[in-house]
Amino acid sequence: MNMTFKLMATAALLGMGATPVLAQKAPKAQKPAAGQQTLSRIDGKPNLNGIWQTMSGANWNVEPHSAAPAPAAQEKLGAIGAIPASPGVVEGGFIPYKPEAVKLRDENRAKTPMWDPEAACYLPGIPRATYMDHPFQIVQGDKDDLLFVYEYASANRIIHMKPVEIPPIDTWMGTSFGEWEGDTLKVVTLGLSPGDVKAPGGELYPGVTWIDRSGNYITSHATVTERFTPEGPNLIRYEVTIDDPDTFTKPWKMSMPIYRRMEANAELQDFRCVPFSEELLYGDLRQGQGAAK
């Protein structure tokens, strides 16, 4: 059984609720530079195995934003549902949308949170999966593909460690190709598209990949280039460049730290969220109830 099939089998087990941290091969130690902690290695490359999570607030809005009331049900949620402020993670502050692309961003924003794919438990796509309010696990072995497993919706993706190819089809999570540039794991993801998706009330509409809860998005023509650079055994500098010429005037970049979860019992929990979204998506089908407004 090759490594890809092993990774797919592992993802299936994790998706069924088998969430304990996976057994990992003992990494080879490397002598640290002066003033630095030891960075363990596998086959000469940084050992990224573990449970990781961001603290950036980017899932609310990747751009700078002030604190704001809950986007829905303010009379019930109060401050619990309020949006926390964030300086943003976009280099230069703001996304360089083309004027015609801003219209869809604004339409998305007006329909959030109900039309946000996260609310419907749809797969989050890349890069959003990295900075959602859930941890993710990296599974790394010797000289082979890597597996990223996400707590949200039991999502996963394989990082194919080979030259970039044109994916045969578009998918929610796209197709990811990886290579090492020194100690940096570079991942290029193509073919990101959910196709037509169901909105609350039953409407089908052409889907795009939302990158946060505020309606910012990328299209199926986007090239997403991620770089994971260890800055110690428990910290990764994460950088992502998005090139989508149909949507933006130029490529643009985000960056944020990713931290290792250090609890002794750290593991991905079960968050298969389909049952949580059924009322949102299908509540209008109950007898005697009209379409959601």
**Residue 209 maps to a domain:** yes
Residue given tokens 């419907």 in the structure block: 120
Q: Which amino acid is at 52?
A: W
Quick: pLDDT tens for 90-147. 999 999 999 999 999 999 999 999 999 999 999 999 999 999 999 999 999 988 999 9
Q: Give residue-wise pLDDT tens across range 246-285.
A: 999 999 999 999 999 999 999 999 999 999 999 998 887 7
Predicted confidence (pLDDT) per residue in 151-169, tens digit: 999 999 999 999 999 999 9
Would you call 210 helix, strand, or coil by DSSP? strand
Question: CA-CA distance, 256 to 234, in Å (whole number)?
Answer: 14
Residue 77 forms part of a structural domain: no
Predicted local distance difference test score (pLDDT) of residue 21: 42
Look at 4 and 43; give whichever has higher pLDDT.
43
- The share of the chain scoring above pLDDT 90, in percent, equals 79
Query: Based on the number of CB atoms within 10 Å of its own CB, is 253 exposed (0-12), middle (13-18) or buried (19 or more)?
Result: middle
Q: Tokens representing 224? A: 């997403």
Whether 26 is covered by a domain: the verdict is: no
pLDDT at residue 211, rounded to an integer: 98
Helices (H) and strands (E) in the chain, counts: 5, 15
pLDDT band at 5 (very low <50, low <70, confident <90, very high): very low
In a domain, 168, yes or no: yes
Residue 152: strand pairing partners: 271
Residue 75 lies in a domain: no
Residue with tokens 């969220």: 273
For residue 53, give the nearest of 198, 167, 151, 146 by alpha carbon.
Answer: 151
Residues of the domain holding 232: 3-13+41-61+88-263+272-285
Q: Looking at residues 175-196, what average pLDDT do you find?
A: 97
Residue 221 has pLDDT above 80, yes or no: yes
Predicted confidence band at 24 (pLDDT cuts at 50, 70, 90)?
very low
Domain count, the chain: 1
Q: Could you tell me the pLDDT band of residue 33, with boundaries at 50, 70 and 90?
A: very low
Between 56 and 143, the more confident residue is 56
- List 139's β-bridge partners, or say none: 147
* pLDDT exceeds 70 at position 290: no
CB-based burial label for 99 (10 Å; 0-12, 13-18, 19+):
exposed
Residue 115's CATH number: 2.40.128.20
Instruction: Specify if 127 maps to a domain.
Output: yes
Answer yes or no: is pLDDT of 17 > 60: no
Q: For the stretch 42-72, what's the b/e string if a residue is b when 16 or more beta carbons lie within 10 angstroms of its beta carbon?
A: beebbbbbbbbbbebbbbbbbbebeeeebbe
Cβ pair 86, 56 in contact under 8 A: yes
- 22 within domain boundaries: no
Q: pLDDT grade, residue 12 (50/70/90)?
A: very low
Q: Could you give the CA distance from residue 227 to residue 230 in angstroms, rounded to a whole number? A: 10
Q: Is 31 inside any structural domain?
A: no
Residue with tokens 């809860």: 213
